[in-house]
Amino acid sequence: MQWLDLLSDYTFQNVVIGASLLGLISGPLGCFAMLRRQSLLGDALSHAALPGVCLSFIITGSRDIGGIIIGALATGSLAALTMLLLTRHSRLKTDAAIGVCLSIFFALGIVLLTYIQGTNNASQGGLEAFLFGQAAATLRSDLWIMGAITLATLALLGIFWKQAKLVTFDAEYARTLGMPTTAIEATLTAMVALAVVVGLQMVGVILMAAMIVAPAAAARQWSRHLGSMLAIAAGVGIVSGVSGATISTLSRGLATGPLIILTATAIVLISLALAPGRGLLWGAIKHYRQKEALQRQQLLYTFYKHPRAAQRYRTTFGSRRVLGKLNRQGYLARSPDDGIEWSLTPQGQAAAKRVVATFEEVAP
């Protein structure tokens, strides 16, 4: 019953739909940003949206979402252009260019914001909302716009799919084919700016950085193909959006944005640990097994070649465990005369011979 109440709650519906839209758009675009080694682009563009939002407020005098989108897109693009100029025409590296644009555009936004607060005392208090998002205040009309942006962006991505893919993985080759690489790169960047606009309302400026990176980083672990990676990233984005929004509504008082980000981060950690093939856990297990196999070979070899010296192996812990295992498997047994020293059983002899044969073959 409680769940039914929740599902029919107007605010909850809006937040969940908004969060899913954000996941749907930021996941796929984040993949492109990450693969192009511009993971922090989202961070910079979201900070650079602040002056645009303020400018649109100064010009239109209202908090109309259409104006905010155009403003944020304009200053976001300007910041991206500045970054490009700084990296292409000066000795500054990408990281410095991103940091410079991020902080200066944000500072400019702060200046404009205080200017607004100083001149007309109209609906302000927007900064807090802008920095941390205000998911609960999402309106149905906002959702339509966010949905339209998401759809349009994904459709555009679909149209330029082949070109975007080639530019991402081999820009030089794309250029030799005569593709307008700069235009395609600019389009991809502008689309990230659009994703940022959708995210401002939900998670705010600062956390938008993670919304671009986290779903893409998680998806990268599960897939080696761009198409499926994009789909997984969108899925991760939606799941973290929906669960973050749900936890926030159920807990009453915890901010939605941070919860969405923490859910996404948790998914990244799980993916890093468990993803088939790339997962750290599988890597650790494989390493452990290899280590054990090597120790087993070493033990069998030494017992076969130097039965007296081999007794010393008992001192280390790892060897003692492998020793016990070999004993249980019937390769080794306590020697019959004193019951302390180890010796190879006939089965162990055979196995040891095989090991020795491989070693001698490699290094005669």
Choose the binding region for another protein from 225-233, 247-255, 296-304, 327-335 (rule: CB under 8 A).
247-255
Q: How many helices (H) and strands (E) does the chain have?
A: 15, 2
| Closer Cβ to another protein, 220 or 296, answer by number | 220
Around Cβ 329, how many Cβ atoms within 10 Å?
Answer: 13
104 binds another protein per the rule CB under 8 A: yes
Residue among 342, 359, 355 at smallest CA distance from 308: 342
CA pseudo-torsion sign 168, 173, 174, 175: positive
Choose the binding region for another protein from 18-26, 139-147, 252-260, 344-352 (rule: CB under 8 A).
252-260
User: Footprint of another protein on residues 258-277 (CB under 8 A)?
Assistant: 258-259, 261-262, 265, 268, 272
Q: Binding residue for another protein (CB under 8 A) from 6, 74, 78, 100? A: 100
| Closer Cβ to another protein, 111 or 309, answer by number | 111
| Closer Cβ to another protein, 41 or 238, answer by number | 41
- CB of residue 299 vs another protein: minimum separation in angstroms? 32
Query: What is d(CA 120, CA 130) in angstroms, rounded to the nearest whole number?
Result: 19
Q: Binding residue for another protein (CB under 8 A) from 42, 67, 71, 348? A: 42
Contact indicator for 238, 231 with CB cutoff of 8 Å: no
Residue for token pair 């989202």 = 42
| Closer Cβ to another protein, 86 or 326, answer by number | 86
Phi-psi label, residue 277: left if phi above 0, alpha if psi -120 to 50, beta otherwise: left
Q: Binding residue for another protein (CB under 8 A) from 17, 207, 230, 236? A: 207
Q: Which residues pair with 342 in a beta bridge?
A: 334
Q: Binding residue for another protein (CB under 8 A) from 20, 56, 138, 221? A: 221
| Closer Cβ to another protein, 26 or 163, answer by number | 26
Query: What is d(CA 215, CA 209) in angstroms, rounded to the nearest whole number?
Result: 11
User: Footprint of another protein on residues 187-206 (CB under 8 A)?
Assistant: 206
Q: Which residues pair with 332 in a beta bridge?
A: 344
Q: Binding residue for another protein (CB under 8 A) from 9, 62, 81, 103? A: 103
Give the per-residue contact string, 105-134, with another protein (x = CB under 8 A; - = no). Answer: -xxxxxxxxxx--x--------xx--xx--
Residue for token pair 């209202």 = 62
Backbone angles phi, psi at 122, to 5 degrees: -70, -170
| Closer Cβ to another protein, 36 or 175, answer by number | 36
| Closer Cβ to another protein, 86 or 352, answer by number | 86
Q: Give the DSSP letter string of 192-251.
A: HHHHHHHHHHHHHHHHHHHHHHHHHHHHHHH-SSHHHHHHHHHHHHHHHHHHHHHHHHHH
Residue among 38, 44, 25 at smallest CA distance from 233: 25
Query: What is d(CA 102, CA 231) in angstroms, rounded to the nearest whole number?
Result: 29
Choose the binding region for another protein from 1-9, 232-240, 249-257, 329-337 (rule: CB under 8 A).
249-257
The residues of the shown chain that bind another protein, judged by CB under 8 A, are 34, 37-40, 42-43, 47, 85-86, 89-93, 95-96, 98-100, 102-104, 106-115, 118, 127-128, 131-132, 206-207, 209-210, 212-214, 216-217, 220-221, 253-255, 257-259, 261-262, 265, 268, 272, 278, 280
